Structure 1
Amino acid sequence: MFFVIFFSLYTLLNTYVFIRGWQSLSLYPQFRIFYAILFLTAASSYIVARIFSDHLPHFVYSTLIWIGSFWFLFLFYFFLAIVLIDLILLINKIIHFLPAPVFQNPNKSKFYAGVIVLSFTILSAIFGYINRLNIEVKELNIKLNNIPEKEYRIVFFSDLHISVINNHNFLKSIVNKINLLNPDLILIGGDLVDEKSKKLRELKLADELKNLKPRFGIYSITGNHEYINGADSTVSFLEELGIKFLRDEVILIDNSFYVIGREDYSKNNFTGQKRKSLESLTQNLNNSLPKILLYHQPLNLNEAIDNSINLQLSGHTHHGQIAPANLITKLVYELSWGYKKKGNTHFYVSSGIGTWGPPVKIGNDAELILITFQF
């Protein structure tokens, strides 16, 4: 169902933007054939690459993914620009604030509007790509007692989306940055990969993870993209690299605190199986010890409060990844990004260290969270 909805919306958006772009070239009809070829190539690249991934040479597959991923950004901004232009024209019919020359030669106005939107999108793509590579370390101090007796350095990140875009070199820079932080423990909030395990293995895209060596291990949970790419095979492959997945499981760290890992919300959609309730995962734990919950999608924050979770770490939202999509995630989620304390529970939702779709971050950062956990 996910793929049907995605493909339907994607086709509708592309059709709408293509028609409006075609109309904007009425002043220069000789460019329309070139426009159509360029548009259809960009719009189909990602879909073709995913469908025929097992049959394409690596260079062809990678090239199509890069083209198609950037196209998501162009499609998004083109669509927003067209809607904004239509809204301005609608308001102008009531208020009449646009200068008369705009309507004296409407074909020229459409063409210039298209050039402006294209230029803005290209500049945004350049800025967003550079910003994506600038990984920020953000510090978070969680102090459960006024006079803490224990302290742990925990690195948390989410939504790396290892792929031919978030590739070996990108991962290597992240691993080096994490190792410099010398964490006791590494926690991962899901969506670690964005390729099937076969492709990850063939291209050695995730092998750099083996160079992470925190003294208390590396723990991850499933996100929706683990399920999209086959959760069981993905988890099996990543565990070969030293990543332990908590799939509705609890682990006691250093006999001092618990880490609880929940299966992703999408498990039922992909497998027809329900995940365990948070209550069932916590009911037999020693309540005198702190509890950290890894939960990919930051849904129903009150559930963590009701089950005496001390710290919940989530991702998934990317905080929109591309402004102004962050306005949408703010409406959907109580906490789209950042820190919040509610009741006695601390929450942090990461904007993600990697990207999905367009390899850009506009209006948010690629982030590693260094948590000083004191109790």
Structure 2
Amino acid sequence: MPLFFIIVLSVHALVNFYIGIRGWQALEFYPALRPWFVFLIVIAFLAYPAGRILEKFWYHPIPISLHWFGAFWFAVMLYATLLLLFVDLARIVNLFVPFVGKLSGGNIPALKLAVFGIVSMITIFTVGLGHINAWTPKIVRLDLVIPKQAGQMEYLRIVAASDIHMGTIIGKRRTEKLVNTVNSLNPDIILFAGDIVDEDVGPVIKQNLGASLLQLHAPYGVYACTGNHEYIGGGEKPIAYLEGHGIKVLRDTALLINNSFYVVGREDLHKRFASGQARKSLDELLSDADKSRPLILLDHQPQNLHEAEIAGIDLQLSGHTHYGQLWPLGYVTDRIFELSRGYLQKGNTHYYVSTGFGTWGPPVRTGNRPEILVINLYFKQ
């Protein structure tokens, strides 16, 4: 983890340095603005880590504002860098096929400023639309047939979500929206595939977000598995908070419900880094389960999908990927995971990887929309 944070901070610093250099060059036309631009870059560079650290012991509008500003800046960094790299590519082309002189009319400093202004406007517009998109979840509906008997049940309506990331960014309004939407879908059971909290549980407690979770209602209950962010946030404390507010967290547990079907919750892979203990294998989890009944698995990270197929799982729900959250990072998650978004069937096992409800880092989605999943399961022998 220390190495991971060193790499992240190094990349963060280099990207801000690159934007800073390009901005400094663009302000040749108005040199009086250069010190203010450098000040903005320094504040933007420090805002997110400073806000996250300060709010742990001082939950106040100042660190909250730093957290929000820094989170938005991550998205600004991505799109400003992509656009500036495109500009740099054009500069390389100009070395071989000169065209900048004609465009500038001989006034290169004015052209630099104009191009930087265009880059800034496109970036702000993209991030703004992405923020609106992040606040407008869609409902994904899926009808599946499980060729097993489930006691006397012929049908089960699952409402599921993943990656809520409750905290400073996903606060009271978003949590209430999640709860109200889930309840309006009339679930028989509610399932959360990990990352319900966003690392530190402090902002969740300060905002009393658990009061909204207590309003979730389903005849067969509300269940979750752990995600990597539950463990990044300390593990036991956020899990205990969820348990105390109506969510049964299944930690390497197979639970028979209504004497009809199983919900199996796997510990997240991050448990090994947090506690030094590996999670149980699926064979261990299902050693006492009646596999003639439907088996529904919650596994936060969609790794090693073949394990569920071999174990006889009927439906696996995962999240974690956010499908990159910001375009074009979805192409990266596609390379990492066999399934990084949506539905897949392997043998008799159905898989769904959700893009998630909330956001991590920037409150922006440009690669996809947040979602809540409705799965109608039909049981047939």
- Scaled by the length of structure 1, the TM-score of the pair is 0.94
Equivalent residue in structure 2 for 1:164, among 145, 165, 168: 168
Distance change in 2, residues 1:147/1:238 (3 Å): closer
Equivalent residue in structure 2 for 1:315, among 311, 316, 319: 319
- 2:68 is aligned to 66
For residues 248 and 332 of structure 2, the distance between their equivalents in structure 1, rounded to whole angstroms, comes to 33
Matched, 1:150 2:162: no
Task: Name the SS for the 2:111 alignment partner.
Answer: helix
- 1:40 is aligned to 42
CA contact (8 A) 1:164 1:205 kept: no
- 2:8 is aligned to 6
Task: Name the SS for the 2:143 alignment partner.
Answer: strand
Structure 2 counterpart of 1:354, which letter? G
Cα offsets for 1:224-277 (capped at 9, x unmatched): 111111111110011100111111111112111111111111111222211111
Cα offsets for 1:21-62 (capped at 9, x unmatched): 222222221111111111211221111111222343421122
Cα offsets for 1:92-142 (capped at 9, x unmatched): 545x38564247544333322211111111111221121122121110111
Matched, 1:190 2:194: yes
Structure 2 counterpart of 1:234, which letter? P
Task: Name the SS for the 1:238 alignment partner.
Answer: helix
Task: Name the SS for the 1:251 alignment partner.
Answer: strand
Structure 2 counterpart of 1:211, which letter? Q
Structure 1 counterpart of 2:231, which letter? Y
For residues 99 and 187 of structure 2, the distance between their equivalents in structure 1, rounded to whole angstroms, comes to 58
- 1:101 is aligned to 102
Cα offsets for 1:62-110 (capped at 9, x unmatched): 211111110111011112222222334335545x385642475443333
Structure 1 window deviating more from structure 2 (208-217 vs 119-128): it is 119-128
Structure 2 counterpart of 1:220, which letter? A
Distance change in 2, residues 1:147/1:270 (3 Å): closer
For residues 148 and 203 of structure 2, the distance between their equivalents in structure 1, rounded to whole angstroms, comes to 49
Cα shift at 1:279: 2.1
For residues 270 and 246 of structure 1, the distance between their equivalents in structure 2, rounded to whole angstroms, comes to 17
- 1:236 is aligned to 240
Distance change in 2, residues 1:276/1:57 (3 Å): closer
Matched, 1:174 2:175: no
Structure 1 counterpart of 2:102, which letter? P
Structure 1 counterpart of 2:72, which letter? F
- 2:227 is aligned to 223
- 1:363 is aligned to 367
Cα shift at 1:192: 0.5
Equivalent residue in structure 1 for 2:277, among 251, 270, 273: 273
- 2:130 is aligned to 128
Distance change in 2, residues 1:293/1:146 (3 Å): closer
Cα shift at 1:197: 2.6
For residues 341 and 90 of structure 1, the distance between their equivalents in structure 2, rounded to whole angstroms, comes to 47
Equivalent residue in structure 1 for 2:300, among 288, 296, 303: 296
Matched, 1:140 2:152: no
Distance change in 2, residues 1:348/1:92 (3 Å): farther
Unaligned runs of 5+ in 2: none
For residues 106 and 329 of structure 1, the distance between their equivalents in structure 2, rounded to whole angstroms, comes to 40
Distance change in 2, residues 1:97/1:295 (3 Å): farther
Task: Name the SS for the 2:264 alignment partner.
Answer: strand
CA contact (8 A) 2:321 2:340 kept: yes
Distance change in 2, residues 1:282/1:42 (3 Å): same
CA contact (8 A) 2:148 2:294 kept: no
Structure 1 window deviating more from structure 2 (12-21 vs 97-106): it is 97-106
- 1:75 is aligned to 77
Equivalent residue in structure 2 for 1:327, among 327, 331, 338: 331
Structure 2 counterpart of 1:43, which letter? F
For residues 284 and 111 of structure 2, the distance between their equivalents in structure 1, rounded to whole angstroms, comes to 62
- 2:357 is aligned to 353
Cα offsets for 1:265-298 (capped at 9, x unmatched): 1111222211111221123321111111111111
For residues 211 and 98 of structure 2, the distance between their equivalents in structure 1, rounded to whole angstroms, comes to 59
Percent identity between matched residues is 42
Distance change in 2, residues 1:277/1:87 (3 Å): farther
- 1:283 is aligned to 287
- 2:58 is aligned to 56
- 2:309 is aligned to 305
Distance change in 2, residues 1:105/1:304 (3 Å): farther
Aligned CA RMSD, in angstroms, stands at 2.0
CA contact (8 A) 1:252 1:258 kept: yes
Distance change in 2, residues 1:82/1:258 (3 Å): same
Cα shift at 1:332: 1.4
Distance change in 2, residues 1:334/1:28 (3 Å): same
For residues 367 and 339 of structure 1, the distance between their equivalents in structure 2, rounded to whole angstroms, comes to 13
CA contact (8 A) 1:161 1:355 kept: yes
